Structure formats: C-alpha cells, structure tokens
Structure 1
Amino acid sequence: MNLTCPHCGFQRELPADRLPRVAVRVTCPRCREQFRFEPPAPMPPELPAPGTAPAEEATPLDAAGAAALPKAGFWIRVVASLVDSTLVTLLQFFFGTALIAAAVALTGGSADQGLGMAIAWSFGPALGVIYYVGFTGYCGQTPGKMALRIKVIRTNGNDIGYGVALVRETVGKFLSTLILGIGYLMVAFDEQKQGLHDRLVKTYVIKL
C-alpha cells in the first residue's frame, strides 16, 4: 500500500504487515509535516448471490439420524418386489432359453445333453442372486426400489455394501421365507418397518 503525504505528495510503499492497525499520526520524511493516517477498513465477507443459499457441508448420517428417517412400509415394498420379480423372470427366461438352446446345439442329443440342460437351468437362480445382491450392494436400490424411491441402508447410516447385501438377500430372505413368510410380515408391524432379514444384518428400508 502507498502511504502519501497530503502536504508535499511524497509517497512510500509499505508492506501490509507493517501498516498500523489503528489510526496514528505520522511525520513525512521529506517535509517533516505531520498528518493522520487511518488504516483501510477490512473487506467485508463475500455474500452469496441473490437467490442462492449459502453452501453447507453435508454431515454424515449417524445411527440416530438413520432411525429418524421415514421408513418404507409393507405395501410399498411389496410393489417394489413385484417389479423386481417381473424383471428377474424376464431375464431368466431370455438367458435361460438361450443357454438351453446352446446346450442342445452343442451336445447334439448326446449323453452330455442332460448335463448341459442342468447347467442352463441352474443359471436362473444364480442370475436372481446376482441381480439382487449386485444392485443392493452397489447403491442400496434394485430397479424396483428405484421406481418406488426407497433404499436399503445400514442402521448406523452407512451404505449397505456387497457383503451385507449378500447375507441379507440370501441367508436373511431364506430365513424370512422359511418361517412361512412371517419374516416379511414383520415389516407391517415393526416400529422401524424391519423384516427378519433387516434385523439380521441391521438394515432399514427408507423412503427417499
């Protein structure tokens, strides 16, 4: 910043760290006259543009925050499940038919045809596991859940991940089905809308 004498016009540049923080009287080294120097006012903080809200840092979700989120009830989850079941059935039919046709063509009616057919039929259940575990582990949403705007998360607020998704979609849902579907019906009566498979791996299904 330039310090200028109002009497003789003498100027001297001073670094910012040497400027006085309060108003003082200084003596010009040329004309020896004194004058009052006032430091420049500090710059005000930059304000956001009109119509825009100040940016806020996203706070990570914790267990209390996850528990307070709105949960997806029984019927909305049933509809999402029907959407997924329809998609999986179509995929299984398409790929299963293609594999069976390929097995018949490759074996040509030989003794290996039964083995080829068995491999083709076993692809259907494997495709279902890949579908549910893959989508749920990747983003907590199968296409059916995306359509209904619901999502699976951990009870501590974290994403579910592939490991937890594998246990939930295989062991958890097997147990829910094994007890005559009661594990699924628990969603309708549980305070946090958790089925047996949700309780097993500590997950919620939330509304977005």
Structure 2
Amino acid sequence: MKLELDLPDMDGRSATPVRYAGFWVRFATFVIDSLCVALFVSIPLFFVFGSGHWQMNIPLDGQLPSPEQARELLAQLRLIMAQVITEYAILLVLYAYCWVRYLGTPGKLVLGLQVVDARTLGPLSVKQSIIRYLGYFVSSLAGCLGFIWVGIDARKQGFHDMMAHSYVIYRRD
C-alpha cells in the first residue's frame, strides 16, 4: 500500500505531496548498505585488526583462568572492543555525512529514497543525523521492534526516525 500525504509548507500556503517509504523497500536499502559496509569498512578493518582475536582459544575446562590466561582473554577482549568501537565510529561519520550531504545512504539513493527532516522535508542536521544513527541501537532492542514499526506506523517511521524527527520518503523530483 502506497501512502501519500500532503504536508503544508512552513508558511502553510501550499502542500508538497510526500510518499513515505515502507518496510520492504527500506529493508532492501539495508541489504545494499550492509554489503557496502562489509566491502568498504568491515573487511578493511579485518585486515587492520587481524582475525586471531575473534578466536578465543583458551581452554578453561570449567575452571577459573590462570592469571596468564586472564591477561590473554583481557587483551583479546580489548582488541575486539577496539574494532567494534572503531567500526561504529566510522559508520556514524559515514551515515551522518550521507544523510546530511546526499539525503541518504547508497542503498537509499539507489532505490530512490531520501532521508529528510520531518518538519521541513529538507536535509537532516548533523545533530539529527547523530540521533538517528544512535536510534538504530534503540530500534534494535526487543527483537528489532523499532525497525518493524516502520511497517505499522502511518508515516512509516521507525523508532530512530521518531527520535530524530525524520522521514524516509521517495525522492521528489
């Protein structure tokens, strides 16, 4: 079902037709973006950080680790955390830049979608972009209910969209 709604301009005079992007097209953009992230972020980081730290091969046999094993486990956990934090920080910068500059990530652009400010239908601010990205973590809670909500909400907003006051709409030409 395609939902179209006329939103008043800031001065309240004319209306701009807006078509909200639903769950499945947004899921497709997620798949495209995930492939881009894997190719251009995750795989390069894999080579930077190496792969050995993902294999915690310290047999404990139900016993407490020795001090040496504990130090090794801690070192491995630190490396894993460094990689995860680095990847999330890179993604925050990339996603925020794409939303502010291009109104969407590569997946959204390929499928003709835009991420816009809910009030102005213009680009998101940097603050909104950061809130939207952090909102992804909120949307992931409780079985990804915040993402599933896109299929339920009249304006097709996930929790992250509501937090950032954003819409995902079909490109207006």
TM-score range, shorter chain: 0.5 to 0.7
Check 1:122–1:191 CA distance in 2 against 1; reply closer, same or farther (3 A cut).
closer
Report the CA distance shift for 1:155/1:63 in structure 2 as closer, same or farther (over 3 A): farther
Q: Which has the higher contact order (CA 8 A, sep 6+)?
A: 2
Greater CA radius of gyration, 1 or 2? 1
Q: Is the contact made by 2:20 and 2:167 (CA closer than 8 Å) also made in structure 1? A: yes
Task: Tell me the number of residue pairs that the alignment of Structure 1 and Structure 2 aligns.
Answer: 136
2:100 is aligned to: 137
Cα shift at 1:127: 2.2
Q: Which structure is higher in helix share?
A: 2
Q: Report the secondary structure of 2:108's partner residue.
A: helix
Contact 1:187–1:195 (Cα < 8 Å) also in 2: yes
Shift of 1:95: 2.1
Q: What is the TM-score with the length of structure 2 in the denominator?
A: 0.68
Q: Deviations over 1:64-105 (max 9, x none)?
A: 746x4011111000000110011101122332134236xxxx
Give TM-score, length-normalised by structure 1.
0.57
CA distance in 2, matches of 1:63, 1:98: 53
SS in 2 for 1:181: helix
Partner of 2:167: helix, strand, or coil?
Answer: strand
Unaligned runs of 5+ in 1: 1-59, 102-110
Task: Give the 5 Å matches for 1:1-208.
Answer: 61-62=9-10, 65=15, 68-100=17-49, 117=79, 119-120=82-83, 122-157=85-120, 158-170=122-134, 172-208=135-171
Q: Which runs of 4+ in 1 moved over 6 A?
A: none
1:139-194 CA-to-partner distances (Å, cap 9, x unmatched) read 22101111001011111123112110011111x11111113211111111111111
- Distance in 2 (CA, whole Å) between partners of 1:206 and 1:197 is 15
